[in-house]
Structure 1
Amino acid sequence: MTTATIDSRSPAVPATRRSQLICCVLCMVLIANLQYGWTLFVNPISQAHGWSIASIQVAFSIFIALETWLTPIHGWIVDSLGGRRGAKLVVAVGGILVALGWIINAYAESLAMLYLGAVVGGTGGGAVYATCVGQAVKWFPDRRGLAVGLTAAGYGAGAALTVVPIRAVIDAAGYQAAFFWFGLVQGGLVFVLAWFLRAPDPDEMVGVAAPRVMQTTRSYTPRQALGTGVFWLLYIMFIMVSASGLMATAQIAPIAKDFNIGNVAILFGASALSVALVVDSICNGGARPLFGWISDQIGREYTMAIAFGLGGVAYWLLGTLGHAPWAFVLFAALIFLTWGEIFSLFPSTCTDTFGTKFATVNLSLLYTAKGASAFLVPIANLIKSASGGWHLVFVLTAIMNFAVVALALFVLKPLRQRFLSNG
């Protein structure tokens, strides 16, 4: 099975799709802190208001849920408005909501208001995320894993640029100031970049080279995709891997505190937590193009098996040996390295299977699995409280990753082969 690729005879097309990719990556960088910077705010919010960590993390769950569950609507709007208008309008509105969400957080004096900020920020973040990933799968059918990986890397690694500045602002002026100014600047820049986005015109995309991985020549509507076993298997696998990763990304600061290493200086005066957050963001972002590129070469399922198998080992190592500062940094980095690629592998697999015409909506429907998995994050705190430590949490996340390895190799691969052959 093959799909269309870029016509190398038209010099304008490579330049255009590179500029589109750059804009998408920058937009993703600018919204990364909504998720990956959140852990820096949890303890300061708790100290300022006396709210429990679990109640504050409900805001994180709301953010993740709306960032993901509303993406099919965002995708439908993008496709309905057309290639020239859809992407820019949806991302522009998303930028406004991103800024407004963090500004609300800055003034939140109740949990209800904090949750409102999560609703607004999650809606805006999802609009930006879904549109940018949709752009990547449409502009780069020949290198879909790599392109989606680079786009998602902006979201995974973007927080590395601002972890230290955000923490410095929190320490110097309070978490409210950090929410306000970073929200305003990041949302404003997304709004500006939005006006450069567009989808490819039909005559810009012609077939010249077949990809190495299985791809359909058809385009399945969202209703058709939802009626397949392949979609729901991908959905279940996405939930299992995403839940394990979200438990770590949302809890890194509390875990470091409980391990009594969060404020231990280990590198040029920087604490173990600060070093871990920077390295984690880099690994999380780098994993996406790395494993995306690998999947373009050897196939999606084999790449899933490699990544998630290593991920299972990483969770076990952090829970068992992560109480030393440098071990904490190393094993947390390995978790992020073997988790972030879900945001390149699953969208690429989805579009390979169901085609490009409805790609934004279809991959957005699959992305809602991240929202479902978010509600397992507070459960990690409950397991930790009941068991007296994080060890059981890490054992469970490791088992979930190993189970997905088995599903990828022995269920997903043959199921997709039959589906594509029949299509």
Structure 2
Amino acid sequence: MKHFTKLAIAAALGTVMGTATVAQELYTPNLAYRTGPFAATGIPLMNGQADYMTLLNERDGGIGGAKIDFEECETGYSTEKGVECYEKTKGKAIVTQPWSTGITLQVLPKTNVDQIPILAPGYGFSPMADGKVFQWAFNVPSGYWDAADMIVQYLEQDGSLEGKKIAFLHLDHPYGKEPLPLLEKLAGEKGFELLPIPVGLKEMQNQSAQWLQIRRERPDNVVMWGWGAMNAGAITEAVKTKYPMENFIGVWWAGHDADLKLVGDDGKGYKSISWSFPNQDAPVMKELKERVFDAGLSQSNAEEMQGVFYGRGVVMSMILSEAIQGAQKNFGTTEIDASQLRWGLENLNITEERLEELGMAGMVPPFSTSCANHTGHSGGWMLEWDGSKFVKASDLLKPNTDSYADLIASAASEYATANAPWAMNEECSATN
């Protein structure tokens, strides 16, 4: 197993700079939500993220000789508090990790002025894929429109969708509405009826009205864009109303083990598209247990560490650490700034070989980014609940990004026009 240890990275940097310099810290704050209505899903994600950074600090002395300050600023998933956290942390941050799509949309114009990269793994505004327009925003390794496209692809494996009805059960929030433009486009192209069914924030735990509508409409499939308590509420209602679980598919934020454990065997067949997988045999998971959990440096627990969301948090911090390391090597400095990290995020190359070196094989599909491509479009796997855990139910699915490239471009252009004057990366073309 190859690992980039503190000494190895310092030596590499020393070759570039003529001498190895050691920075004191890299400030990478996380706008966390361990409290509020979404805490049940936020906690394992935050724990996975924090534990991976703790592993790097403990095992390698940080990244390139610089310790990582992974301070959390609690938002409770509140957009208002999220903006406050952004303003509080932006002074010395090299990145902002806003979490909710609502917070992302609010800080997006600010980061373009403040020149701080947004890292929003698998969430946020889908047109952020256009790196020329959104030069400071990254939603790697896969975006919401990618997820919607892959779900439709998966449904098509059973035959044409012509004449079928697909209910879209979604949180009535910017996050829940995010895939609608592409789903509406796909409905028109493929001939299925799209039935949007919103769930208000106050209805998450009592969805009787929504599931009454589903029983009445009898859709061929239900696609869920849920989060937090909404997911558990929907899954419980589906079981209660005897909706066929094999026809029920969620986005990656609706694939949380704890939600399905509430119904156990009754949830068999429920699926969730996912760009990550909790590979318990991955060497990094063993190291996290030995160096972080067993050492008393984690807020997690043994059961949580086996779940999808904890593993996804680990992958998220790996993506950030790889961008930091790439920037350090390119610029010949350990203590990189926000602009240099942006370069690192634009030049990610997460190959199968690199995942092996990191001890993370099978935990995320390979992907790469560029100045024009800030999402990576890694694709993902369809995961299925087997009664006790999520297992892979498909080979790797890849989004048909060419089919909605025009939609990304037009939405990005509309955003820039609406927020004029909007600074773009004029040196970036569609091919680089």
TM-score tier by shorter-chain length is under 0.3
TM-score computed with the length of structure 1 as normaliser = 0.26
Higher normalized contact order (CA 8 Å, seq sep 6+, divided by chain length): 1
From the two aligned structures, give the one with the greater strand fraction: 2
